[in-house]
């Protein structure tokens, strides 16, 4: 649709305003409309206009495909998922912005009650754009203006958020903040202002205007080739400038600054060192570290040996109690005995709490009844091919059940969550004592309990940290995954959730976990293990032309085909390669435990710290970690096509 000085470059129907904060929207509270990006005279505006009836297609004016290479207005469907709980931004704002003087909105009469919700805003007035959390029933966008107000949330019932952001990125520079994965900060494509800023910052030796031109066309390659870090420029756009600062630099925001972020260039890593694994620690070697009164000596050296070689099978039953914090590394034999007696009494007191509940009481305790049902279901399919758990009347299954229900008494807030039985099974197999296995399991849960929290913030943060490491280690692989809509690394979700329990044979899981429990060489070795697996599979992924579904399928088919020694060797080599880099970005150092983590200024986890290019689509948020039940793999991640088929069947 074109007119004199008026051209629609993007149009999308099925964009609704939700005017009620209720969980289930009434039809009257949903206002159907059309979102448009319009080039008008010398300005570009974003419009939303309602239609009187959502199904009346005659009121929706569709523009032709831009033959100049712009994005078409075809629908880009996004997977939907109803989590069954109240979205945190169900109604973002009911305050409508001041309307701008523009042509009359099409599709609704000005006198219509719904027509009063229409708005039009210049792209130059936008300050930030916030996306919805992955997993909400409909994707939405919230636009915040420079004046500090937010426009009504736009709910895309038919998809299209990514298509809209791609169009906006032709006119604006969108930068993703690592401290809030859903927030895009908006900067204008003002070459003169950027050139002046780069000149004052002395980031480049060559002509600034040429650099800015290339930067706007391709921020990635220009950033990688021209400078190593440009933190100060973007932070300067977010924080007030001291007196005497150049007036050419971007002005400070009206209110407090938005969350800061860091742009990381291609880090030049040195050669990857060769690493050799050591033999396992034997019982004789362990005995050499036992001093007078049964106290362990030279504990750091002993931990280093466990990290480099693991433990011999006969030593695990004793050593795991130390690795999981049940027994103190500094305690004597007598102190350990007293501690075990105390913990035994404590365990059976907690066990009695649920054992003494009668069936009649349990009928009125829905929480306990739900935990019991979930535990019984998961225990019945946990490691049933292992001789320790096989058979219908196996006592190991009863111990798994009792320990997990007692943990619900120990940790009321968390209770039982699917996947915990996978973490307990190897511990009980090794310890073979109900009380000791329970407290070792509690020690393990201290490390990973955040993985099972309902908010999933810990899992999102770990996926963001994994992406950060992979971006530094292998940018081409990250770019390939981005191009196949797999850049969120959602296929690694199960790896991190239960620490690769389903990826390796059972004996290899024992070796992997005892190495990870040492805490060496840093707190996030499991992320480097994931990087090592992806590094081993990079050629297969990149040279086979896999799409997103094929990538998910290939990753799932790696189960039981990986060698734990090869993976650990490569993970340690990656760690040494990273730490040998003299200019390793600070946030990467934090992930590796080389520097203490900074105090977070936002509860949202960091993700990719790179700015969004005006010529490439914003990275999609991770799809919901929806899973499909399988005989013994309830955490299997489905390709998107299968998820969509399930959703359509349910609807």
Q: Is 72 exposed, middle or buried (0-12, 13-18, 19+ CB in 10 A)?
A: middle
Mean pLDDT of 574-596: 95
More confident residue, 220 or 520: 520
What local confidence, expressed as pLDDT, does residue 171 receive? 87
pLDDT > 70? residue 206? no
For the chain, what are the domain ranges? 1-19+29-54+117-191, 193-220+271-309+455-595, 313-448
CA distances from 516 to 244, 461, 503, 527 (A): 52, 19, 15, 10
pLDDT, tens only, 214-264:
444 444 444 444 433 333 333 333 344 444 443 333 343 333 333 333 444
- The CATH topology of domain 313-448 is Helicase, Ruva Protein; domain 3 (1.10.8)
> CA 439 to CA 283: how far, in whole Å?
23
More confident residue, 240 or 531: 531
Q: How confident is the model at residue 599 (pLDDT cuts 50, 70, 90)?
A: low
Helix or strand holding residue 554 (H, E):
helix 548-556
Written out in words, the top-level CATH class of the domain with range 1-19+29-54+117-191 is mainly beta
What local confidence, expressed as pLDDT, does residue 323 receive? 98
Helix or strand holding residue 643 (H, E):
helix 640-650
pLDDT > 50? residue 609? no
Tell me if residue 188 falls in helix, strand or coil. strand
Phi-psi group of 545: left, alpha or beta (phi > 0 → left; psi -120 to 50 → alpha; rest → beta): left
What local confidence, expressed as pLDDT, does residue 651 receive? 41
Evaluate whether 93 touches 21 at the Cβ level (below 8 Å): no
Query: What average pLDDT does the chain have?
Result: 76
pLDDT, tens only, 72-104:
333 333 333 333 333 332 332 333 334 344 344
pLDDT, tens only, 278-320:
999 999 999 999 998 999 999 999 999 999 999 999 999 999 9
Mean pLDDT of 131-152: 77
Phi-psi group of 141: left, alpha or beta (phi > 0 → left; psi -120 to 50 → alpha; rest → beta): beta
What local confidence, expressed as pLDDT, does residue 170 receive? 86
Task: Kindly compute the dihedral angle of the four CA atoms of residues 49, 52, 53, 55, in this order, to the nearest 10 degrees.
Answer: -40
More confident residue, 527 or 126: 527
What local confidence, expressed as pLDDT, does residue 4 receive? 64
pLDDT > 90? residue 459? yes
What local confidence, expressed as pLDDT, does residue 151 receive? 83
The CATH code for residues 193-220+271-309+455-595 is: 1.10.472.80
pLDDT, tens only, 35-64:
999 988 788 999 999 986 434 333 333 333
What local confidence, expressed as pLDDT, does residue 179 receive? 67
More confident residue, 220 or 545: 545
Q: How confident is the model at residue 187 (pLDDT cuts 50, 70, 90)?
A: confident
> CA 581 to CA 470: how far, in whole Å?
15
What local confidence, expressed as pLDDT, does residue 615 receive? 32
pLDDT, tens only, 9-36:
999 988 988 875 444 455 667 888 999 9
Nearest residue to 61 via CA among 38, 27, 44: 38
């Amino acid at each position: 649709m074109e007119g004199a000085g008026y051209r629609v470059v993007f149009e999308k129907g099925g964009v609704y305003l939700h005017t009620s904060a209720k969980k289930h929207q009434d039809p009257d509270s949903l206002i159907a409309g059309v979102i448009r990006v319009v080039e008008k005279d010398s300005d570009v505006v974003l419009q939303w206009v309602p239609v009187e009836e959502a199904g009346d297609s005659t009121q929706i004016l569709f523009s032709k495909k831009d033959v100049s290479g712009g994005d078409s207005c075809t629908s880009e469907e996004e997977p939907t998922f109803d989590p069954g709980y109240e979205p945190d931004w169900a109604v973002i704002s009911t305050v409508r912005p001041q309307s701008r003087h523009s042509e009359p909105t099409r599709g609704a009469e000005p006198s219509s009650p719904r027509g009063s919700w229409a708005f039009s805003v210049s792209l130059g007035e936008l300050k930030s754009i916030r996306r919805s959390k992955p997993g909400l029933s409909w994707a939405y966008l919230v636009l915040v203006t420079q004046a500090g107000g937010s426009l009504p949330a736009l709910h895309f019932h038919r998809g299209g958020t990514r298509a809209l952001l791609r169009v906006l990125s032709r006119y604006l520079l969108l930068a993703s903040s690592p401290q809030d994965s859903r927030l895009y900060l908006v900067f204008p494509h003002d070459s003169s202002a950027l050139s002046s800023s780069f000149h004052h910052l002395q980031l480049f030796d060559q002509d600034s205007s040429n650099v800015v031109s290339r930067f706007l066309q391709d921020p990635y390659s220009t950033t990688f080739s021209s400078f190593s870090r440009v933190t100060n420029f973007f932070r300067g756009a977010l924080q007030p400038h001291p007196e005497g600062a150049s007036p050419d630099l971007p002005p400070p925001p009206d209110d407090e600054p938005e969350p800061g972020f860091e742009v990381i260039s291609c880090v030049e890593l040195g050669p990857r060192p060769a690493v050799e694994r050591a033999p396992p620690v034997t019982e004789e070697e362990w005995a050499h570290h036992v001093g007078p009164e049964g106290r362990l000596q030279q504990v750091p050296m002993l931990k280093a040996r466990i990290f480099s070689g693991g433990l011999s099978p006969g030593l695990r039953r004793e050593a795991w109690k130390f690795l999981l914090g049940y027994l103190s590394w500094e305690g004597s034999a007598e102190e350990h005995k007293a501690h075990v007696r105390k913990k035994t009494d404590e365990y059976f007191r907690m066990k009695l709490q649920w054992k003494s509940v009668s069936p009649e009481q349990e009928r009125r305790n829905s929480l306990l009844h739900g935990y019991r049902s979930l535990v019984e279901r998961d225990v019945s399919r946990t490691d049933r091919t292992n001789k320790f758990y096989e058979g219908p009347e196996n006592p190991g299954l009863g111990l798994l059940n009792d320990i997990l229900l007692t943990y619900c008494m120990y940790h009321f807030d968390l209770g039982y969550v699917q996947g915990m039985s996978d973490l307990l099974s190897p511990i009980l197999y090794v310890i073979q004592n109900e009380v000791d296995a329970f407290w070792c399991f509690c020690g393990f849960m201290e490390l990973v309990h955040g993985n099972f929290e309902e908010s999933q913030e810990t899992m999102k943060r770990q996926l963001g940290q994994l992406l950060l490491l992979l971006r530094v280690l292998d940018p081409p692989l990250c770019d390939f995954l981005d191009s196949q809509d797999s850049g969120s690394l959602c296929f690694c979700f199960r790896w991190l959730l239960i620490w690769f329990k389903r990826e390796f044979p059972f004996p290899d899981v024992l070796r992997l976990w005892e190495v990870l429990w040492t805490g060496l060489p840093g707190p996030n070795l499991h992320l480097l293990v994931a990087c090592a697996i992806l590094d081993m599979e990079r050629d297969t992924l990149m040279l086979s032309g896999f799409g997103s579904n094929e990538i998910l399928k290939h990753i799932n088919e790696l189960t039981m085909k990986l060698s734990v020694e090869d993976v650990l060797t490569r993970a340690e080599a990656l760690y040494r390669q990273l730490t040998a880099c003299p200019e390793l970005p600070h946030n990467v150092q934090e992930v590796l435990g080389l520097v203490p983590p900074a105090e977070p200024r936002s509860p949202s986890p960091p993700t990719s710290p790179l700015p969004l290019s005006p010529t490439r689509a914003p990275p999609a948020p991770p799809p919901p970690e929806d899973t499909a039940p399988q005989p013994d793999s309830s955490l299997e991640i489905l390709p998107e096509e299968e998820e969509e088929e399930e959703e359509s069947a349910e609807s």
